[in-house]
Chain A
């Protein structure tokens, strides 16, 4: 890493909206994008007299996540009220979990495929369930101070995943987030869509600075309002630099008078963090157990059942792709990062071709490029794994060179034709080896000076011959022509 004169210490709090059909404590839909206040009922609107009833599916998805994060799952968990006044919180308390969350003390392993840092386990303090608040829309047009509240989101199940301050760079933070998102996506517990707010990140960051008098820590800052993983990385890089500068200027350290934790918001336009109102900082949430809900008992058998149903997780798949198909960590990472459907596509392809490396290259280059260009997923990719395998097998056998294969691939993409039809359309025929031998013999006879040059050790001279062969027969595979010519010259 760079030679900055301090260690960065980062912990992340990630809020994930769970993929349940209905809300945490009522039957309203969690669908995003409906007209304001159309997905509400007495319960999520906090109507006097209404009572919450726990959504069991939300608990299941949370347990699944917690188990996948290697967390301990206590047998007893309960609901607490976190109390604060805010217009988008209809009851003026949020149902959350305080001292007995549904899970605690887990870890997530992260590594950088390019090796920028050593693989490490980021410890998870806890993952707990709570209900989301509504959305405030502040209408500041023409000096009006009206605010509007949309309660559609109110009561959506949120899983809050809190990491230990184990991350040592903004980059590690980003990799952690990528890995977490990937895991959640594989588990099918969240769509992790940051634009729609289904994944939100708050970061706690400070610096540990070695000084002659020993190590000192800068005051912890909670950074909010980061709308993408890239924004997280940038905000944290900015904040680390800012804290170092501030420390050099003021010498203020954690715990000293004025060195308490503060909150700053990331301004993505200006690429800076700015202080947020400090008044809210001193709030006392007056947590207490919610008497409207009964505690939840999670039996060890249930945890085991959840564990049994997890399916193969990204880290394990990466290992398996490397071991089974002989591709390297970087390639395995790229494929796994595309999601389970891409992994299945790749494996079907590699199994049919009987090789891992070439399918890996094709998937990462040609297939991925197409998916990006067309903004589609592998599910909507028009060439099946079997069809692509047929093409790659021809390349493998030497019947087609890469550039001809790419032409066929593009033809298949644009026309939807099968491999054979596409080749016919392009006038590409499978070439008989005898035909190529004949052609090579003729060309060698016509070009004795090249034969002499090759014999003199200048194999490069063959290039001209290969070019001629291609002109005579466009289907001639350069590698095959080269191999045949060399063998013929040797026997001359």
Chain B
């Protein structure tokens, strides 16, 4: 089998034994990207030279028997909302097309320290807002299982890069399902850690109280390996938890005895696709066959999760994205054209003697803000900024934001109660498998409803993992979501790995794509 579909764990073994060098490995993945990414468009940028020179460095260290990090020599792809020093970090937005941060995100620094070879930056929905990667300013990513379908989002590039064998590991971010849903759509494994488990320093913020960086891989064991590198307290992030990080790699292969799996009544209601439901129910039976106890549970407030999420996330986004105004950061409108337009307007009002219009005329500064933001942001980002700005405005704050915070606490309480009875909660990741590109892009509400099963984990700050559990008749992957109590990633990974030890869904590969779309 080609190196490109080997597990990260196996590849590390090959590197250690000298069977393959990091340069060879990196070249293999670069070749795979070169062959397939014109079709898939999982990457926004691939820095071939930097990757190869880093790989050569690691090879040299290995030959010299120098101490090596956990990922030494292994290529890793990172989502383009993670700051990489001196390299463009665009968030797939025109706004940040030319932004190259002067610093590394904490997770990037951790990857570098672990000896990872950063192979490229992956495509995403603009500022991580979206569920299909169609909102990228640089064009959509295609699902390697079916190029006419979306890979999910917003970490669509991260998931697709794995499914297409372009990288053994990928780092994404998840604000409302942005790791789990694309993992599900692309048939790979992806974990959203507990809020605070991984430092957010250097992750370009979408919604700060919901954002969390997490690992994607082609198996749970690989996800465990990457999580161990990413996780840990960071003094630069006040919201990062100062708790020890277990060595997930040591325990992930050990099945859990006496596992109790909760199945949420409310998850199997209206909107859930029949094939997805069947696959998820079958997955629950697999757990049963492995000796787990299955318990029917209720999360009564889960029906409010979408509404709550689409208040809180846009509120925070409207604030976080205020800085992109053409003054300090981001795209700036063509100033001479803007000034010419402004002056023409003013002269027109003066000629008409329209003092009212003259009074209402904005300043050139405000005009510059307006035009820069109008031109620099895409439609979905603007929609969310407007929603959030509205919800935080005087007179609406209590009815929307404060109310949403209250419901958020109730949602968390539901989970706290549920986890007194069960170890993990199993259910669907998304109501359907990957849909066709363009199918939902003009129906934002339908798109938002696709986040039904994933946003709760973000609102409650809980860890959740998505693993493949079947395919539709149209050969599109279906995902199973497992959610666990805060900081219980170890349990979650072991529970997920049990499933992969008993099934082979995660080992399926998409058909080779042609180099032409």
Contacts and interface: CB of A to CB of B under 8 A. Distances in A.
Interface of A: 42, 45-54, 81, 83, 85, 87, 90-93, 145, 149, 284, 286, 288, 291-294
B237 interface: yes
Contacts of A292: 205, 208, 238-239
A286 B389 contact: yes
A48 B237 contact: no
A42 B101 contact: yes
8 contacts: A42-B103, A45-B328, A46-B329, A87-B365, A93-B322, A286-B319, A292-B205, A294-B239
Interface in B227-254: 235-239
A291 B236 contact: no
Given A286-B393, A288-B397, A48 B89 contact: yes
Contacts of A87: 327-328, 365
A46 B320 CA distance: 10
B392 A286 contact: yes
Nearest to B315: A288
B336 interface: no
Contacts of A52: 238
A359 B349 CA distance: 74
Contacts of B201: 49-51
Contact of B323 (A46, A286, A291, A293): A46
A284 B101 contact: no
B127 to A, nearest CB: 10
Contact of B319 (A45, A54, A81): A81
Nearest to B395: A284
A47 B393 contact: no
Contacts of B401: 288
A46 B319 contact: no
Interface residues on B, range: 35 or more
User: Among A47, A51, A293, which residue has the most Cβ atoms of chain B within 10 A?
Assistant: A51
B238 A293 contact: yes
B6 to A, nearest CB: 32
Most chain B CB within 10 A, of A53, A284, A286, is at A286
Nearest to A43: B236
B325 interface: yes
Nearest to B327: A87
A46 B328 CA distance: 9
A398 B205 CA distance: 79
List 8 A-B pairs, minimum CB-CB distance, nearest first.
Answer: A92-B322, A291-B209, A291-B208, A286-B392, A49-B202, A48-B204, A49-B83, A284-B394
Contacts of B83: 48-49
Contacts of A149: 327
A87 B329 CA distance: 11
B397 A47 contact: no
Contacts of B91: 48
A47 B329 contact: yes
Interface in B300-356: 315-316, 318-319, 322-325, 327-329
B103 A93 contact: no
Given A48-B91, A48-B99, 15 more contacts: A47-B329, A48-B204, A49-B81, A49-B201, A50-B201, A50-B202, A51-B201, A51-B238, A51-B239, A87-B327, A92-B323, A92-B325, A149-B327, A288-B401, A292-B205
A93 B317 CA distance: 12
B102 interface: yes
Contacts of B208: 291-292
Contacts of A45: 328
Contacts of B397: 286, 288
B200 interface: yes
B105 interface: yes
A83 B202 CA distance: 22
Contact of A284 (B202, B207, B393): B393
A53 B200 contact: no
Given A42-B103, A286-B392, A288-B401, A83 B238 contact: no
Contacts of A93: 319, 322
Contact of B236 (A51, A92, A145): A51
Contact of B316 (A47, A48, A291, A293): A291
A294 B238 contact: yes
Nearest to B366: A85
Interface in B94-138: 96, 99, 101-103, 105
A46 to B, nearest CB: 5
Contact of B102 (A42, A51, A92, A294): A42
Nearest to B364: A145
B129 to A, nearest CB: 15
Contacts of A92: 322-323, 325
